[in-house]
Amino acid sequence: MNKIKTLLTELIIIASLIVAIIFVVSFLSFAYGTKYIVIDLILLFAMAGFITLGGYVFALLYGEKKTINSLKNENEYNLNRNYVFFNYDYFTRKITLRNIKNKDLEGYMIAFNCVRNVDSTTKAIKDDISELNGCVADYLLERINNFDKKDIKFSYFCFYHGVFLVYINCSPEYLNNLINDIETRIYDISREHDFRLYIQPYFGIYDRRNENVEEHDVIYKVINYAMTAREYGSQNFDSVTFYSSELFGSNITTEFEAIVEALDKKEFIVFYQPKYSLGKKQFISSEALVRWQSPKNGLVSPIKFISEAENGGLIHRIDMFVLEQVCKDLNETKRKGRRLLPVSINFSIYEFYAPDFVDDIINTITKYKVNPSLIEMEITESVSGANSFVPISIIKKLKEFGLRILMDDFGVGYSNFNNIKNMPIDVLKIDKSFIDNIVDDEKSREIVKLLIDFARSLGLESIAEGVSVKEQVDILRKYHCDTIQGYFYSKPISKTEYEQFLANNPYEKKGVVEK
């Protein structure tokens, strides 16, 4: 498509130039007589037309380039710094490529953090942490890229989930110095900026030369080993910890590996929780929630494995599985001629940085011939560490394709009202923690009322989640909340149960027209 556009632009530019030359020549002859005046006028209009058309196609072309560039930037630009600092996906791909090309080149995987805990802190502290991480990134790039080329065969960096990942091929002495220097620098930066942060760097290292990495060992396992070593160090107050199978035993990574296995064995299933519109007095959509049907542990809640999956970079696979299952279910429901309602799917913010994120989603929805208006995306605003911005151009692309975007867990996270105002979203989901206390606590009621009014003032739909008793529904109705989700109407249920629920529930008026 782009090639055709480029060709078209070039043709139009050439045509405009030819017309311009003819125009100049005929204009000169016009100066000597009036007989070419009509031709001149025609040429003038033709030229204006060509130039406008050329400009339009040019703008189209340039416009598209610009969005691709900004997409690329947002993919790479994780730390509010103006340089390429790989996101998790690029990072793993680069290393995998490197290993495929040079099987003998193996390196250290280093995972380190600057502060112990980036969660549950105030915005000011999060800003300080972001700034600190940005400065550390500056330092890493400067130190490794500019000065040490002779000592290093290769190095890659990434910042993921509040942790720096460095994959580097160097000597043990160099590694030792590097770690000492980074640690010193972290303390220095914090002092220079007067950050009021509790600095606690922990380094976890996995050496691919000492450990027998099998041929099939994928890079995220290597990352996981380094992360595990870092975690172990932070629990035992050891600032540097090398991973070794003797130290950690063989079951330290079982949880992570069990998730990989469960994905391969297709042990995940999707439940649906209905959402009820107070205005329409109907169920209007549902939320897809993943569960792990483990042969060993039964039905496992996502709370038990989502964060491990995020840490290990597996979340994209889980969320894409949920999307695919939802598309299959919607397709089947449509074929059976049953009631077809939109489904919202949770997407972890970390996968927004994957380069194929948008394509993967569009391809899956297209593959199952699902109308994009039936898919909604829930993104959470409670993002920790320096990855604190939501990539707006990615959301715009998904919206252009036809998806609705929901801001999940609204009120508990990092974004302030001003940020939300500029986000291209459709729905605000008020977090359960506010809803929990609205019956007894006046302040919670005030906050929820404020959040509902705020959503309405921006023209957004408001959804209250975790509504479990009738008194909560009554209060929310009084405040004109649009939609309710929670145990009061239904717990998350299997697809078959959901179909039965929609067919005979006591909350809808009989004879409601099926969509």
What are the strands of the beta sheet with 154-160, ordered from one edge?
Answer: 154-160, 163-169, 108-115, 199-207, 240-242
Interface with ligand C2E, residue 329, by CB under 6 A: no
Q: Which of 391, 326, 387, 381 is CA-nearest to residue 357?
A: 391
Q: Position 344: which residue type?
A: S
| CA-CA-CA-CA torsion sign (389, 391, 393, 399) | negative
Interface with Ca ion, residue 483, by CB under 5 A: no
Phi and psi torsions of 416, nearest 5°: -100, 175
Q: Position 511: which residue type?
A: G
**How far apart are alpha carbons 329 and 343 in whole angstroms?**
10
Measure CA 86 to chain center. 15
In angstroms, what is the minimal distance from the CB of 260 to ligand C2E? 16
Stretch that binds ligand C2E, among 13-21, 40-48, 241-249, 317-325 (CB under 6 A): 317-325
Interface with ligand C2E, residue 178, by CB under 6 A: no
- Which residue of 322, 395, 423, 451 would you call a contact of ligand C2E, by CB under 6 A? 322
Interface with ligand C2E, residue 379, by CB under 6 A: no
Q: Which is nearer to ligand C2E, 134 or 302 (CB)?
A: 302
In angstroms, what is the minimal distance from the CB of 434 to ligand C2E? 12
**How far apart are alpha carbons 34 and 28 in whole angstroms?**
11
H or E segment at 430?
A: strand 427-430
Range 245-304, binding ligand C2E (CB under 6 A): 273, 289-290, 301-303
Interface with Ca ion, residue 183, by CB under 5 A: no
The two tokens of residue 378 are 């829930």
Residue 274's Cβ-count burial label (10 Å; 0-12, 13-18, 19+) is buried
The two tokens of residue 75 are 């993919």
Residue 334's Cβ-count burial label (10 Å; 0-12, 13-18, 19+) is middle
Interface with ligand C2E, residue 89, by CB under 6 A: no
Find out whether 403 and 377 touch, Cβ atoms under 8 Å: yes
Q: Which is nearer to ligand C2E, 226 or 406 (CB)?
A: 406
Partner from Ca ion, ligand C2E, none contacting 319, C-beta within 5 to 8 A by type: ligand C2E
- Which residue of 155, 234, 346, 388 would you call a contact of Ca ion, by CB under 5 A? 346
- Which residue of 408, 448, 482, 492 would you call a contact of Ca ion, by CB under 5 A? 408
DSSP string of 12-74, one letter each residue: HHHHHHHHHHHHHHHHHHHHT-STTHHHHHHHHHHHHHHHHHHHHHHHHHHHHHHHHHHHHHH
Stretch that binds ligand C2E, among 120-128, 217-225, 340-348, 500-508 (CB under 6 A): 340-348
Range 431-450, binding ligand C2E (CB under 6 A): 432
In angstroms, what is the minimal distance from the CB of 429 to Ca ion? 7
In angstroms, what is the minimal distance from the CB of 409 to Ca ion? 4
Q: Which is nearer to ligand C2E, 302 or 413 (CB)?
A: 302
Report how many residues bind ligand C2E under the rule CB under 6 A.
24
Range 409-428, binding Ca ion (CB under 5 A): 409
Partner from Ca ion, ligand C2E, none contacting 486, C-beta within 5 to 8 A by type: ligand C2E
Partner from ligand C2E, Ca ion, none contacting 451, C-beta within 5 to 8 A by type: none
Measure CA 400 to chain center. 17
Q: Which is nearer to Ca ion, 134 or 413 (CB)?
A: 413
Q: Pattern of binders to ligand C2E over 402-431, x per CB under 6 A?
A: ------xx----------------------
Interface with ligand C2E, residue 306, by CB under 6 A: yes
The two tokens of residue 128 are 């300080």
Q: Which residues bind ligand C2E (CB under 6 A)?
A: 273, 289-290, 301-303, 306, 315, 318-319, 322, 346-348, 408-409, 432, 465-468, 486-487, 492
